Amino acid sequence: MREDTGYRHLQVSPVAGALGAEVQGVDLTRRLAPDVVGEIRQALLAYLVIFFHGQRLGPAELLAFAERFGQPTEYPHMKGLPGHPHVIAVTKLEHERVNFGGVWHSDTTYLECPPLGSLLYAVEVPPYGGDTLFANQYLAYEALSEGLKKTLDGLVGVNTSAKAEISRTREDRLREAGAELKVLVGTHPVVRTHPETGRRALYVNAAHTTHFQCWTVEESQPLLNYLFAHQVRPEFTCRFRWQPGSLVFWDNRCAQHNPVNDYHGFRRVMHRVTLAGDLPR
């Protein structure tokens, strides 16, 4: 694995041509120096998703690390762990067939201010399967024709939490707990500008985007279907294989992800922290 030599305190090794890098040389349970935090942020902005292995993070340690990069926020409709409301358990049990968020998506784009990013820590993983795919939405936008870029410029996507087929496992578990499910709707530019890098990225996704504002669903569907397929072309992606103690930190503003649902009969338990974001522009 080739190392990116632009770091003084970390070993950062890209895992694919499109996005993703493994970060070594840091114990995330320790109090990190500002220079180390700065280099981790640098790696996130450069590679969109970064991977750490061999970490030993309880909920408190995971939250403390996340707080170095933003403001943790509660996940819609879901309760956090006891004593740690900003840390949620993402679990698929042995008998379940549908996994949490099992489709290509950007997180919770049905919110007015979707998250900056998310951190996911592996507590228990299946003996095989359960990988997560990631896709670079800068590259997806840049690969479009100039004509399609002009068509998309100024379009607004309507995003909803009501695509029930996307999140049946989550909704079933919420209903069992007696939670009230509210439909949330957010509208965002189809092409957003990253507030830190200034790069433009496609910002629609199959899990939540239903149509373009001022267009009907029927009018929107052909173009959205084209974009959904284009966004996840193999050359825009990388694949991550989890181990117990792995931590992944992704930038929700320019990357999509898809947890692969290929481990039926096994348990998978992850702890997740979501960082508050800004209004997409």
Tens digits of residue pLDDT in 181-212:
689 999 999 999 999 999 999 999 999 999 99
Q: What is the dihedral of CA 206, 15, 68, 124, to 10 degrees?
A: 70
CATH number at residue 233: 3.60.130.10
Domain contains 151: yes
pTM of the model: 0.94
Residue 249 C-alpha from the chain's centroid: 8
Label residue 97 by pLDDT band (50, 70, 90): confident
Task: Decide if 29 is inside a domain.
Answer: yes
Angle at 29 between CA 269 and CA 2, to 5 degrees: 85
- Domain residues for the domain of 78 are 11-275
**Would you list the DSSP string of 100-124?**
TT-SSB-TTTTSSS--SEEEEEEEE
178 band by pLDDT with thresholds 50, 70 and 90? very low
How many domains does the chain divide into?
A: 1
206 in a structural domain? yes
Catalytic residues: 105, 107, 257, 272
Neighbours of 93 (CB within 10 A): 11
Query: To the nearest whole percent, how much of the chain has pLDDT over 70?
Result: 94
Question: Under a CB-based contact definition with an 8 Å cutoff, are residues 103 and 79 in contact?
Answer: no
| 135/127 Cα distance (integer angstroms) | 25
Task: Please indicate, yes or no, if residue 281 is contained in any of the structural domains.
Answer: no
Residue 15 lies in a domain: yes
Look at residue 260 and tell me if it is in a domain: yes
